[in-house]
Chain A
Amino acid sequence: MKDSDVITLEEPRLSYADTFYLPQVLIGLGTTMRHMFNVVVRGKDRVIQYPEERREDMPVEKGGMLLKTYRGVHRLNKDDEGRVKCVACFMCSTACPANCIHIVAAESPWADREKYPAKFDIDELRCIYCGMCEEACPVDAIELSHVYDIVGLTRQEMIFDKAKLLNIFDETVKKEPM
């Protein structure tokens, strides 16, 4: 890097009033007061009673969300015979920018296919839900479902294995066909 490319920035000096911080505190409190006024006096409620009330059930112009394009937790699709569709080609894990897909390939037990995933783990906490895996898949085996409310008590629980991902397919296939 050349010296001419380096730009040195001076930290802006605080004015005398700023050094007290009080004006900023009052401005912040003002926002709180405004919301309180809106709710209590004008009766405009911004709170959603989740999970009874859900954003996907609300119209988009009223702050709802369009579930059709939402990228939620992954699912592993099954073929007509209920076998995992994945051929363990590693395209998704290669395309993954977050390195959250871990596959162990093995020789498949079925005659019509060479290879299948013996293990297929996705670290849902590491995933950034970009959908690149879906794009990369040559056999449409991995998809992002619209399910967004996944929970777990430990980090280990949030690493979804093959069984769990296939299970999400079973749960979502009716609502979101392949």
Chain B
Amino acid sequence: MPKITVDGKLIDCKERQMVLQACQDAGYKLPSYCYHPGLSIPASCRICLVEVEGIPKLVPSCQTPVRDGMVVHSRSPKAVASQKQVMEYLLINHPLDCPVCDQAGECSLQDYSYEYGRSQSRFEEDKAKKPKKDVGDNIYLYSDRCIMCTRCVRFTREVSGTSELYVDGRGYREEIDIFPGKPCNNKLAGNVVDLCPVGALLDKDFLFKQRVWLLKQTPSISPVDSGGENIFLEYNNGVVYRIKPRYNAEVNGWWISDDTRYSYKIIQNEKRLKSAFKKEHGSLTKTSTREAFDFAVAQLKSLAAQSSGSLYAMLSPMMACEEAFLLGSAIRAIDPEAVLILGPVPSAEEDDIFRHSLTGQQTFVIKAEKVPNAEGIRRVISQLGGPSANYNELISGNNPLLKNLKGGWIVGGYLSNWIKGALPAALATGFRVVQDILPTTLSESADVVLPGAAWAEKDGCWENYAGKIQPFAAAIVPPEGITREGDLYLALLGRTGVYNAQAIRKEMGEPFAAVSLPTEHVQAPAMEFAEL
């Protein structure tokens, strides 16, 4: 393994690694704009120029492979002078609009200007004014803030493979642009906003909503598909404002899909169920969660007392594994022969596969299965044992186990209305307790309706399509009137105390017991440069 010395510090590197990446891996910061570990290396921004002993000129550290015994200086007078000059050139035409720029606070131009630049500008002429462009449904391009690092252009060529963005012009006329009538609307388009080291590419959805230094981060998992993309929920004062990717080499790398990025909107959906309902004299009336819950439990117990095997629980693939385990155990405690049914698993035709536009190499996959935890629920049902079925068997009525069901606990929680068309006959009869986020035809005809919490409001874990169990944490508290599912199921089991996902996972045994939240936020090297 080669070893190099950077500013007197010995750093272990991998074979054929670049100096900049080796430094980043070792936790030593070198400035960089155009370099991104997930993209090709153009070495165009020149901020990472370092002095290497034995080479007369400065070399870009992002493009210089390590050699055993190499001695690198990033703080030598020559290197520092170069950094100052690069910063000065980059800032010549950069507008001084940090107060209104959404990137302020996570902008590497700000950070490096503070760290490496000079505090005053010697440029006396008028700054070049470039237009603000609408480059996609969700993206604005403020051309005047752009420093031409071409990360976004490389992303659309090398990861999404759609090549919507290109560099137009040369020299001071150089601008990022789209081809006429071909906006940047691919399913990964939002990533160019994260990639942009300055405030040139901004998300229309997040524009002006909140300053980034006010946001707090909680590690979470994408709720939109079975890929299990790692994300950060960014929130302030109990409102989630945006979702950012969290680096995970095994799952999603540096990127997330746009569906994931905007999935937080379900939390703020106006139609959300916010209070419990109970059927009285043939119509649903608003009531407290406690009352509706007690009524449901009493009814289910009396049904179970009449005949065994008449209850079922429909476990939705939107539930956390812990919740499914608790509800499954609780319904079995009431009726030992209760049937556990896996809820509907909506799926697109096929996976969305993204390829490098030149090499054709696969870069990103959006899974076809549009729920995050079908695998996890299957695992919980098989761990609990006993009679089980799936949603299709329930609505087709082929399974003899499902012939004499009289009442059940149905969990929804899908991000959109999950009952397409008319209510299936199997779901229209018997005593039904429905727990959901959005109102559906089912919740309108149920006997008891309990409002559910969204994934950002509770702890738990989900298993992705590849069998990787990933925990997520609550970022915010649910709106008033909503009790978290975990706490309700504990009450259903007759247990006291509050729901603690980690403790429940211990109870569930392997492989869940080994799952725990990362104690430190796992951050991608590329996302780290905001730290000073």
On whether A88 and B214 interact (CB within 8 A), knowing A115-B100, A139-B99, the answer reads no
When the two chains form their complex, are residues A88 and B100 in contact, meaning their CB atoms are under 8 A apart?
yes
When the two chains form their complex, are residues B100 and A89 in contact, meaning their CB atoms are under 8 A apart?
yes
**Interface presence of B211 (CB below 8 A):** yes
Give A53-91 interface residues, CB cut-off 8 Å to B. 87-91
CB neighbours of B100 from chain A (8 A): 87-89, 113-115
When the two chains form their complex, are residues A115 and B208 in contact, meaning their CB atoms are under 8 A apart?
yes
Residue of A nearest to B132 (CB): A114
Residue of B nearest to A115 (CB): B100
B208's partner among A91, A94, A106, A139 (CB-CB below 8 A) is A106
**Interface presence of B498 (CB below 8 A):** no
A107's partner among B99, B207, B211 (CB-CB below 8 A) is B207
On whether A90 and B207 interact (CB within 8 A), knowing A115-B100, A139-B99, the answer reads no
**Interface presence of A147 (CB below 8 A):** no
Give the distance in Å from the alpha carbon of A87 to the alpha carbon of B98 in the complex. 11
For B97, B100, B207, B214, the residue with the greatest tally of chain A CB atoms inside 10 Å of its CB is B100
On whether A90 and B214 interact (CB within 8 A), knowing A114-B97, A138-B99, the answer reads yes
Cβ contacts A125-146/B at 8 Å (1 or 0 each): 0000000000000110000000
Number of chain A residues close to chain B: CB under 8 A: 14
**Interface presence of A105 (CB below 8 A):** yes
CB neighbours of A87 from chain B (8 A): 99-100
Distance in angstroms from A56 CB to nearest chain B CB is 34
Residue of A nearest to B213 (CB): A94
For A107, A114, A138, the residue with the greatest tally of chain B CB atoms inside 10 Å of its CB is A114
Give the distance in Å from the alpha carbon of A113 to the alpha carbon of B100 in the complex. 9
Distance in angstroms from A72 CB to nearest chain B CB is 25
Residue of B nearest to A87 (CB): B100
Cβ contacts B189-227/A at 8 Å (1 or 0 each): 000000000000000000111010110000000000000
Cβ contacts B260-275/A at 8 Å (1 or 0 each): 0000000000000000
CB neighbours of B213 from chain A (8 A): 94
Cβ contacts B362-378/A at 8 Å (1 or 0 each): 00000000000000000
Secondary structure type dominating chain A contacts: loop
Distance in angstroms from A106 CB to nearest chain B CB is 6
B interface residue count range (under 10 / 10 to 19 / 20 to 34 / 35 or more):
10 to 19
Give the distance in Å from the alpha carbon of A105 to the alpha carbon of B211 in the complex. 10
Cβ contacts A80-120/B at 8 Å (1 or 0 each): 00000001111100100000000001110000011100000
Give the distance in Å from the alpha carbon of A106 to the alpha carbon of B209 in the complex. 8
CB neighbours of A91 from chain B (8 A): 99
CB neighbours of A107 from chain B (8 A): 207-208
CB neighbours of B209 from chain A (8 A): 105
Give the distance in Å from the alpha carbon of A113 to the alpha carbon of B211 in the complex. 18
Give B418-463 interface residues, CB cut-off 8 Å to A. none
For A90, A94, A107, A138, the residue with the greatest tally of chain B CB atoms inside 10 Å of its CB is A90
When the two chains form their complex, are residues A105 and B99 in contact, meaning their CB atoms are under 8 A apart?
no
Residue of A nearest to B99 (CB): A89
Residue of A nearest to B204 (CB): A107
Give the distance in Å from the alpha carbon of A106 to the alpha carbon of B207 in the complex. 8
When the two chains form their complex, are residues B211 and A90 in contact, meaning their CB atoms are under 8 A apart?
yes
CB neighbours of A114 from chain B (8 A): 97, 100, 208
When the two chains form their complex, are residues B208 and A105 in contact, meaning their CB atoms are under 8 A apart?
yes
Give the distance in Å from the alpha carbon of A89 to the alpha carbon of B99 in the complex. 5
Cβ contacts B212-245/A at 8 Å (1 or 0 each): 0110000000000000000000000000000000
CB neighbours of B211 from chain A (8 A): 89-90, 94
Give the distance in Å from the alpha carbon of A177 to the alpha carbon of B190 in the complex. 46
Give the distance in Å from the alpha carbon of A138 to the alpha carbon of B207 in the complex. 20
When the two chains form their complex, are residues B214 and A94 in contact, meaning their CB atoms are under 8 A apart?
yes
Give the distance in Å from the alpha carbon of A90 to the alpha carbon of B211 in the complex. 7
Give the distance in Å from the alpha carbon of A115 to the alpha carbon of B97 in the complex. 11
Give the distance in Å from the alpha carbon of A107 to the alpha carbon of B100 in the complex. 10
CB neighbours of B214 from chain A (8 A): 90, 94
Give the distance in Å from the alpha carbon of A91 to the alpha carbon of B100 in the complex. 10
Give the distance in Å from the alpha carbon of A114 to the alpha carbon of B208 in the complex. 9
CB neighbours of A139 from chain B (8 A): 99
Distance in angstroms from B154 CB to nearest chain A CB is 28
Distance in angstroms from B293 CB to nearest chain A CB is 36
Residue of B nearest to A103 (CB): B211
Give B90-140 interface residues, CB cut-off 8 Å to A. 97, 99-100, 104
CB neighbours of B104 from chain A (8 A): 89
Distance in angstroms from A101 CB to nearest chain B CB is 12
Distance in angstroms from B200 CB to nearest chain A CB is 14
Distance in angstroms from A109 CB to nearest chain B CB is 13
CB neighbours of A94 from chain B (8 A): 211, 213-214
CB neighbours of A113 from chain B (8 A): 100
- Can you list 9 contacts pairing A with B, beta carbon distance less than 8 Å? A87-B99, A87-B100, A89-B100, A89-B211, A91-B99, A94-B211, A94-B213, A106-B208, A139-B99
Sorted nearest first, the 5 A-B pairs with minimum C-beta distance are A89-B99, A105-B208, A115-B100, A90-B211, A114-B100
Given contacts A88-B208, A107-B207, A138-B99, 14 further A-B contacts (CB under 8 A): A87-B100, A88-B100, A89-B104, A89-B211, A90-B211, A90-B214, A91-B99, A94-B211, A94-B213, A105-B208, A105-B209, A114-B97, A115-B100, A115-B208
